Structure 1
Amino acid sequence: MRTICFYFQVHQPFRIKPYRFFDMGEDHYYWDDYLNKSVIRKVAQKCYLPMNELLLELIQKHQGKFKVAFSISGVCLDQFEAYAPDVLESFQRLVATGQVELLNETDAHALCSLRSKSEFKRMVETHRAKIKRLFNGYEPKVFRNTELVYSDKIGEMVAEMGYMGMLTEGAKHILGWKSPNFVYQNSINPDFKILLKNFQLSDDIAFRFSDKSWSEHPLTIEKFTAWVNNVPKEHQVVNLFMDYETFGEHQWAETGIFEFMRVLPTAILNHTDFTFSTPSEVLGQANPIAKIQVPIPISWADEERDLTAWLGNDLQNEAFTKLYDLESRVNKIDDPEIQRDWNYLQTSDHFYYMSTKFFSDGAVHAYFSPYETPYDAFINYMNVLSDFIIRVSRKEKEIQGVA
């Protein structure tokens, strides 16, 4: 089997509104509805709607030979329901073709797998139920963790939940001399399979496509097809994993990204010996070649492919620790608004905005952040978290009073 597996991450966080120290104890609604709606509608027009239409066209044109997979975060699905039902309907039409696979993840696009097995399982079940409700009973078979975060222990947890496999980054420091173009096994549970991102070919599309300083610019279909043909014949699968917002948002329509994608399936099918497959098809057909050892968690973020995008400085670690110290207390509170805010406050983007990295990684973080500085992000988040703690304490007193 020689196949290409296209996987797209679809995610937008609920961004926090400007929240001052003096708002604590007074204002208990944290979310910037105007900004969130504006971002969703902007990205819908630039990316989601035109790209979904293009994929539907390609699926119909190639009659079962072209397939893709999506992981759509639960917080993104919530915003589709609230602000962009037309986008949700377009994803539903894609899934209805039978050529599009949906993956499971944490509902809030959270980092709870690093801190709490029980919270991780709760979030996965919440996302699974949401997918089932919105996509006509759809049941995902494959998992992908937030930002492809993976370790041996995380893989073992996911295997226990009944998934056939999961996706992660083909990080150099993990692979060494080995290639990402094979199916691997979890080192603790050998029955659990792992797909690794081919970051070279993925990032050629996702990051370098419009980079005029890149030695290979412009990226043509002929050039990319030649690179695919250069993959050694014994290799099983080329995993092209990327943000869905690559198309039209990160790489604007003017770059030619839509035209590139429009002709790519035909070029691959006609001029290479590769097919297209979904993750579950690859995992179901290909035999793993070896165990992959990942004792320390990896991700697909930044140059290091580690967790420092979210937990790389004291600000991030303080916020993360203070948040998850609340888990046992929040679990005892049956209040829909408390539970909603607990969910949304776990979204990894809040910690990403606090990154103090420099150079190219720092520029990427700044591009995505609604804050002027990482310190502004930290202060705003901690103000909100402080108010949330006040609310939790009040609810605890109410429960004790009732008891």
Structure 2
Amino acid sequence: MRTICFYFQVHQPYRLKPYRFFDIGEDHHYWDDFSNKSIMRKVAQKCYLPMNALLLELIEKYNGAFKVSFSLSGVFLDQLEEFAPDVLESFQKLVATGHCELLNETYAHALVALKSKEEFKDMVQNHQQKIKKLFNGYQPKVFRNTELIYSDEIGKMVSDMGFDAILTEGAKHVLGWKSPNYVYCNSIEPKLKVLLKNFQLSDDIAFRFGNKAWDDYPLTTEKFINWINEIPAGEEVLNLFMDYETFGEHQWAETGIFDFMRHLPEAVFSKTSFSFSTPSEVSAKIAPVGKIHVPIPISWADEERDLTAWLGNDLQDEAFDRLYEMEKLVKSIDDEEIQRDWTYLQTSDHFYYMCTKFFSDGDIHSYFSPYDSPYDAFINYMNVLSDFMIRVKEKINEKESPKVK
């Protein structure tokens, strides 16, 4: 069996509105409703709706032989319900075909696996319930952690929760001479399969497709098929993992990205020995060749494939630590708004905006940030966190104070 596994990350954060020091204690609504709605509708028209329609067309054209998988963050699904029910319906149609797999993740697309096992488990279970509710009882079997963040210990936590497999980055410094085009297993819990992204071929589509300065521009279907056919015969699975917004948003329709995807399945079927599979099918059908050892967490971000996009400077570390200092207090409060804001404040994007990396990855970080600088992102987040802290303490005091008759 030689197969291609397509996985798409689909996520939009709830962005914070400009929140001044003088708003602390006065304004408890933190979210930029206008921006969140307008961005969702823009990306829906450029990416989600046309790409979902194309994938449905391809699945039907090839009678299910073409397959894909998605990880839809909980905060993304919340926004679909609020701002884009037409997009939600289009995802539901894809899943209903039986040839589109949904993966589990943390509800808030959070970094919580690095901080709290209890909160991590709660978030994963909340995401499971959301998927079950919106997709007719669907139960994911494969896990994908936020930004493909993975380590041996995170893998063990995921295995203990009953998942069959996990997706992560085929990082060079982890693989060494090994190829990402095999199935591996967790070094602590070997029953957990580990699927590794082929970052070279994935990034050719996700990042380099429309780059006219790239030596291999333009990327045609024929050229990509030639690269696939160069994969040694013994290597069994090609994992193409990328942001779903690659199609139409990061790579505009004018680049030909939709036409590339439209013609890719036919070229794979007619000119290669590869099929298409979902992650759970890969996990079930292909045996691991050995353990993958990842003692220090990796991700799919930047050249280093580490955590420095989110936790690489003092600003990020300070915000991250202050947030999770409140975990036990927040968990003791039965208040829907507090719990919602707690969840949304954990989204990894807030820390990504505080990144101070430059050179090769700086443009990527600035592209995604709504702030003028990482410092502005930090100040805005900490102002919000200060108000949130006040609200939490007030709720605790209400709970502990005796009621006056």
TM class, shorter-length: over 0.9
1:380 counterpart residue number: 380
Q: Which runs of 5+ in 1 are unaligned?
A: none
Equivalent positions of 1:216-255 (< 5 A) are 216-255=216-255
Partners of 2:294 and 2:250 in 1: CA distance: 30
2:205 counterpart residue number: 205
1:167 counterpart residue number: 167
Partners of 1:98 and 1:333 in 2: CA distance: 40
**What amino acid does structure 1 have at the position aligned with 2:349?**
D
1:110 counterpart residue number: 110
Following superposition, the deviation at residue 360 of structure 1 comes to: 2.4
Secondary structure at the aligned position of 2:30 is classed as coil
**What amino acid does structure 1 have at the position aligned with 2:30?**
Y
Asked if 1:323 is matched to 2:326, the reply is no
Percent of aligned positions that are identical? 72
Partners of 1:402 and 1:323 in 2: CA distance: 28
**What amino acid does structure 1 have at the position aligned with 2:5?**
C
**What amino acid does structure 1 have at the position aligned with 2:332?**
K
1:38 counterpart residue number: 38
Partners of 1:99 and 1:282 in 2: CA distance: 13
Output the TM-score relative to the length of structure 1.
Answer: 1.00
**What amino acid does structure 1 have at the position aligned with 2:49?**
L
Partners of 2:253 and 2:155 in 1: CA distance: 37
Following superposition, the deviation at residue 359 of structure 1 comes to: 1.2
1:190 counterpart residue number: 190
Secondary structure at the aligned position of 1:298 is classed as coil
Secondary structure at the aligned position of 1:305 is classed as coil
1:17 counterpart residue number: 17
1:277 counterpart residue number: 277
The one-character-per-residue Cα deviations of 1:223-269 (angstroms, maximum 9, x if unpaired) are: 00000011000001000000000000000000000000000000001
Output the TM-score relative to the length of structure 2.
Answer: 0.99
Partners of 1:359 and 1:266 in 2: CA distance: 39
Secondary structure at the aligned position of 1:6 is classed as strand
Partners of 1:55 and 1:92 in 2: CA distance: 12
Q: Which runs of 5+ in 2 are unaligned?
A: none
Following superposition, the deviation at residue 55 of structure 1 comes to: 0.2
Corresponding residue pairs, total: 403
2:48 counterpart residue number: 48
Partners of 2:137 and 2:270 in 1: CA distance: 35
Partners of 1:83 and 1:333 in 2: CA distance: 29
Partners of 1:319 and 1:279 in 2: CA distance: 35
Partners of 1:314 and 1:64 in 2: CA distance: 49
Following superposition, the deviation at residue 402 of structure 1 comes to: 3.9
Following superposition, the deviation at residue 112 of structure 1 comes to: 0.3
**What amino acid does structure 2 have at the position aligned with 1:374?**
P
Asked if 1:65 is matched to 2:74, the reply is no
Mean CA deviation greater in 393-402 or 333-342: 393-402
Secondary structure at the aligned position of 1:124 is classed as helix
Equivalent positions of 1:351-366 (< 5 A) are 351-366=351-366
Secondary structure at the aligned position of 2:309 is classed as helix
2:86 counterpart residue number: 86
Partners of 1:352 and 1:269 in 2: CA distance: 39
Asked if 1:399 is matched to 2:399, the reply is yes
Following superposition, the deviation at residue 64 of structure 1 comes to: 1.6
**What amino acid does structure 2 have at the position aligned with 1:398?**
E
Q: Which aligned segments of 4 or more residues in structure 1 are displaced greater than 2 angstroms?
A: none
Secondary structure at the aligned position of 2:333 is classed as coil
